[in-house]
Structure 1
Amino acid sequence: MRQCENCNRKFGFGQIFKSLWLAYKPIVCPQCNAVYEHTMKNRILTALSVALGTIIGGLYWALSETDDENKILMLIISDVVLTLLFSSLSIYFFGFKRKHVEKAST
């Protein structure tokens, strides 16, 4: 589900991506203020994205024939780029659950 259950407003890619990399911050619908939290599936997909980026970056590092300083720099750059790439692709499989907020009685 990538849209609000109340008003059917779609959540944008940037809104979901920002929420993901800010420690799974809940998404608030700007139209009706409904709050949605990340599911466990989202956390698993993100962990797999990070692991896959690190493994592929590590393979590049192991197979590279450059000197050590350049290898370390390329490892860091490739890990960051691949992790961001894989996590942005995994967003299309995310799901959210609505958080029911109880109103305080007055």
Structure 2
Amino acid sequence: MQNCEVCKSKFKWKELLFSIWSSYKPVECRGCGKKHTISFASKFFVSFLIIVPAVIFGLLIAPDMGLSKVVTFVLIVMMAFVISLLLPFFVKYEVKPKEK
């Protein structure tokens, strides 16, 4: 789990999860108040981990199993939800640069 780059306070899993779910909203450190934004590489990583398994399952696995479109959609949504619960352990945040 990520720590604040300034004061080394540990972010809570819940803070990072809601940041990801709310379109990468910046996370504010409870210790020093610095705002952290998700890195570009982590945004790519999040998208990759959600989209690739969904596409593989939806196009390759589900048709071979004979699943209906509705069941396939529900399973893809559930899979994306479960993957999103693990993302706070992998994403990296950076101190937000000063705005001019």
TM-score range, shorter chain: 0.7 to 0.9
Which blocks of at least 5 consecutive residues in structure 2 are unaligned? none
**Which residue does the alignment assign to 1:61?**
62
TM-score normalised by L of structure 1: 0.77
Count of paired positions: 99
C-alpha displacement at 1:43, in angstroms?
0.9
What is the TM-score when the length of structure 2 is the normalising length? 0.80
Corresponding residue number in structure 2 for 1:15: 15
Cα RMSD, aligned residues only? 2.2
| Structure 2 CA distance for partners of 1:74 and 1:60, relative to 1, 3 Å | farther
1:23 Cα deviation after fit: 0.7
- Of 77, 81, 86, 2:83 maps to 86
d(CA) in 1 for partners of 2:81, 2:61: 17
Pairwise CA distance, 1:32: 1.9
Q: Which amino acid aligns with 1:91?
A: P
Structure of greater relative contact order (alpha carbons < 8 Å, 6+ residues apart): 2
- After superposition, give the CA deviation of every residue in 1:13-70 in whole Å (9 maximum; x if it has no partner): 111111011111111112321100110111111111122231243134312335xxxx
1:61-100 C-alpha deviation (Å, 9 max, x unpaired) = 312335xxxx122112111121122233343222111013
Identity %: 22
Q: In structure 1, list runs of 5 or more residues that go unmatched.
A: none
Which amino acid is the alignment partner of residue 15 of structure 1?
Answer: E
Amino acid at match of 2:65: S
- Based on CA coordinates, which of the two structures has the bigger radius of gyration? 1
